[in-house]
Amino acid sequence: MLSNSSTTTLKSIVREGLKNLQEQGVRSVPVDDQARGILHSWSVSPPAAPSRGEPRELESPEQKIDYLRRRAANWSAARRLGSLREKMVFSVGDVHARLVLVGEAPGYDEERLGEPFVGRAGQKLNEILRAMGLRREQIYITNICKFRPSMGANQGTANRPPTPEEIAACLPLVLAELRAIRPVCVACLGATAAHGLLGGEGSVGSLRGIWHQLADNLPVRVTYHPSYLLRNESLSARRAVWEDMLAVMEKLELPISDKQRSYFLPK
Ligand code: URA
């Protein structure tokens, strides 16, 4: 693990090197999936190169997602780290969805059932979706890391967030999913997903409230993870998440009633 100052130096060397190449007319540089993920997490755009994720002959989102599901099961960038558990938990939902939700990583329940957000945080997420007038089947739910992070032999039901390296290893899969689905917008649930997808740092409090743009002008909203609401049931926390979801509903041009607009406002 590099110190913050070494990482900063390394970032500027890489940025400068890529800029020099660009000035010399180089338009593409071969980078493997892991390097691509790390560059993305540093907010450095790797020069365009054909992605290993999506062969051109796969045309439909169904085909592309199916292909990615199979690739993910043997994703060597993740396996190589040795810090993620064996079972891959792929995304769930509609491959034609207009909204993609990005969570952190599978936990105990998700690993057991092989589906994202099926534990307590998942129930909270379902509640939020119901309040929006949506069902899980109508959206696409993915995790920035597709394997439950390991905590050793006696892990039991405990979970931990994925490290930046674990996220970087899985990120090419998530970016390929987004390219396959081409949603209207994305919502990152929690800081881990936001940092992984958007790069950079900062608390959810500092990242929420605006639309971020991913490549291809894909709008991304950041909100608190549902498990935050399990720990903090205050009206202000619930309202904050709800305001983010109202912004998402507006972006999706979903109908919003006066009653929905006023959820979780102080009486
Ligand atoms: N939390 C997440 O971020 N993802 C899941 O799939 C479950 C809980």
d(CA 165, CA 57): 31
H/E element holding 181? helix 164-181
Rounded to the nearest angstrom, the distance between the alpha carbon of 51 and the centre of ligand 1 is 27
What ranges in 48-96 are assigned the alpha helix state H? 61-73, 76-81
Using CA atoms, how far residue 86 sits from 80, 97, 131, 206, 219, in Å, is 11, 28, 35, 35, 33
Q: Which two tokens stand for residue 81?
A: 């780290």
Q: Ligand 1, closest atom to CA 141?
A: 6
In the β-sheet with 92-93, what is the strand arrangement from edge to edge? 92-93, 140-143, 99-103, 185-189, 218-223, 212-214
Rounded to the nearest angstrom, the distance between the alpha carbon of 17 and the centre of ligand 1 is 37
Beta bridge partners of 188: 102, 222
Rounded to the nearest angstrom, the distance between the alpha carbon of 88 and the centre of ligand 1 is 13
Amino acid type, 57? E
- 229-240: buried (b, 16+ CB within 10 Å) or exposed (e) per residue? beeeeeeeebbb
Q: Which two tokens stand for residue 72?
A: 């993910």
d(CA 119, CA 106): 10
Supply the residue whose CA is at minimum distance from atom 7 of ligand 1. Answer: 117
Does 110 contact ligand 1 (Cβ within 6 A)? Answer: yes
Q: Ligand 1, closest atom to CA 104?
A: 3
Reduced to 3 states (helix: H, G, I; strand: E, B; else coil), residue 99 is strand
pLDDT tens for the chain, residues 1 to 267: 566 666 666 776 677 667 656 555 555 676 766 676 677 666 655 444 435 555 566 789 999 999 999 999 999 999 999 999 999 999 999 999 999 999 999 999 999 999 999 999 999 999 999 999 999 999 999 999 999 999 999 999 999 999 999 999 999 999 999 999 999 999 999 999 999 999 999 999 999 999 999 988 999 999 999 999 999 999 999 999 999 999 999 999 999 999 999 999 998
Does 162 contact ligand 1 (Cβ within 6 A)? Answer: no
d(CA 262, CA 169): 41
d(CA 155, CA 167): 20
Contact 92, 115 (CB under 8 A): yes
Does 117 contact ligand 1 (Cβ within 6 A)? Answer: yes
Does 34 contact ligand 1 (Cβ within 6 A)? Answer: no
Rounded to the nearest angstrom, the distance between the alpha carbon of 267 and the centre of ligand 1 is 32
Instruction: Give me the pLDDT at residue 98, please.
Output: 98
Q: Could you count the other beta carbons within 10 Å of the beta carbon of residue 9?
A: 12
Contact 100, 139 (CB under 8 A): yes
Instruction: Give me the pLDDT at residue 50, please.
Output: 38
Q: Ligand 1, closest atom to CA 103?
A: 3
